[in-house]
Amino acid sequence: MFSLDLFLNALVAGVLLGGFYAAVSLGISIAFGLLDVVNIGHPIFVILGSYAAFVLNDAYGLDPLLSGVLFAPVFFLIGVVVYQVYYLSFERKGESPLRGLVFFFGLLFIIEVALLLKFGVDYRLIEAPYIGRSIHIGEVGIAFRLLVPCVVGLLMTLAITQFLSRTFYGRAIKGVAQDSLALRLMGIDPVRIKTIAFGLGIATASVAGALLIMISPVEPSIGRAYIGRVFAIAVLGGLGSIGGTLTAALILGIAESLTATFSGPSWSLAVSFGILLLVLAVRPAGLFGR
């Protein structure tokens, strides 16, 4: 049963969801798209970010966005350590990326279990004054708990894009997977660049996690649902293109929202894998791919 109101509402919710998905996918776009590091464990860092926001909110009533930003440097350091371990155990030895995949998959489960032991299986949520509110434009309702993540996601994407194109580190990050010897011949240490970039990717998970717990309650295993999404977005957007990631995130958000509205929420998870398969079959380079 189709109605225009329903469609418009679903469309707007999809766009808002897309902005949030962009925030979740940034880390994958950097690690997988720019560094050739298949960090399949990225979603669990997002969940970790959610729990960080939850703990501070629960104890001190701290705004989730604030804790997302506060924890970003800590997450950056976690990323630095994770990359160093990955580099020393796999990349430096020239191991195939497939083994790295196993490493990150293992990391995902270890962190998930750790969270489970610490916080249990209960859904956790946070409180902030704006979370329950919404604005209405005609028949279309815009919930703040979706609007805020979308705006923050867009800002974060913009910030990363600017960083990559305007700074020495940023340009080096964009080039590091293309030819690391060429970088060394310009006086750049590629391992250092990759470490910084990976740390940056994990730092985005701190903010993305805070956004996630704003949108819906969180328990340790829901990160798995995001593995398909983030890879679908990274591949659809085209590896190495942050602008492509944003476009792809919006497309997936809208597709999921429309599917959930008209066919039921249980189908929405299938959308991301459907898109992933379709892109790999039709245009493996993605929308803006290399």
Partner 1 sequence: MANRIVVRDVEAGYGGVRVLHGVSMHVEDGETVVLLGTNGNGKSTLMKCIMGIVQPDAGEIFLEVDGRRFDLAGRRPEEIVQLGVTLVPEGRRLLPRLTVRENLLLGAYRAEARRDIARNLEFCLEAFPVLAERQKQLAGSMSGGEQQMLAIARALMSTPRILLVDEPSVGLAPILVSRVIAKIRELKEKRDLTVLMAEQNFNQAVKIADRGYVIVHGRIEFEGESTQKLAEHELVRKYYLGL
Task: State in angstroms the smallest separation of the CB of 192 from partner 1.
Answer: 9
Contacts of 283 (CB under 8 A, 6+ apart): 289
Per 3-state DSSP, the chain is made up of helix, strand and coil in percentages (nearest 5) of 75, 5, 20
- What string marks each residue from 86 to 115 as x (binds partner 1 by CB under 8 A) or -? ------------------------------
> Is residue 118 a contact residue for partner 1 (CB under 8 A)?
no
| Residue bearing tokens 């798209």 | 33
CA 258 to chain centre: 21
Task: State in angstroms the smallest separation of the CB of 155 from partner 1.
Answer: 24
> Is residue 179 a contact residue for partner 1 (CB under 8 A)?
yes
Task: State in angstroms the smallest separation of the CB of 179 from partner 1.
Answer: 6
Could you tell me how many residues of this chain bind partner 1 (CB under 8 A)? Answer: 19
CA 280 to chain centre: 20
Q: For residues 274 and 289, which CB has a smaller minimum distance to partner 1 in the complex?
A: 289
- Amino acid 221 reads S
> Is residue 254 a contact residue for partner 1 (CB under 8 A)?
no
Q: For residues 33 and 253, which CB has a smaller minimum distance to partner 1 in the complex?
A: 33
Q: Which of 174, 228, 140, 164 is nearest to 34 (CA)?
A: 174
Q: Please state the φ and ψ torsions of residue 188, each to the nearest 5 degrees.
A: -110, 135
Q: For residues 134 and 165, which CB has a smaller minimum distance to partner 1 in the complex?
A: 165
Q: For residues 183 and 222, which CB has a smaller minimum distance to partner 1 in the complex?
A: 183
How many angstroms separate the CA atoms of 220 and 224, rounded?
Answer: 9
Q: Which of 135, 182, 270, 277 binds partner 1 (CB under 8 A)?
A: 182
For 139, other C-beta atoms within 10 Å of its C-beta total 11
How many angstroms separate the CA atoms of 211 and 151, rounded?
Answer: 10
> Is residue 121 a contact residue for partner 1 (CB under 8 A)?
no
How many angstroms separate the CA atoms of 131 and 138, rounded?
Answer: 21
> Is residue 188 a contact residue for partner 1 (CB under 8 A)?
yes
For residue 287, count CB atoms less than 10 angstroms from its CB and return exposed for 0-12, middle for 13-18, buried for 19 or more. middle
Task: State in angstroms the smallest separation of the CB of 174 from partner 1.
Answer: 6
Task: State in angstroms the smallest separation of the CB of 19 from partner 1.
Answer: 27
> Is residue 187 a contact residue for partner 1 (CB under 8 A)?
yes
Site for partner 1 in 140-169 (CB under 8 A): 165, 168
* Binding-site ranges for partner 1 (CB under 8 A): 165, 168, 171-172, 174-175, 178-179, 181-189, 240, 290
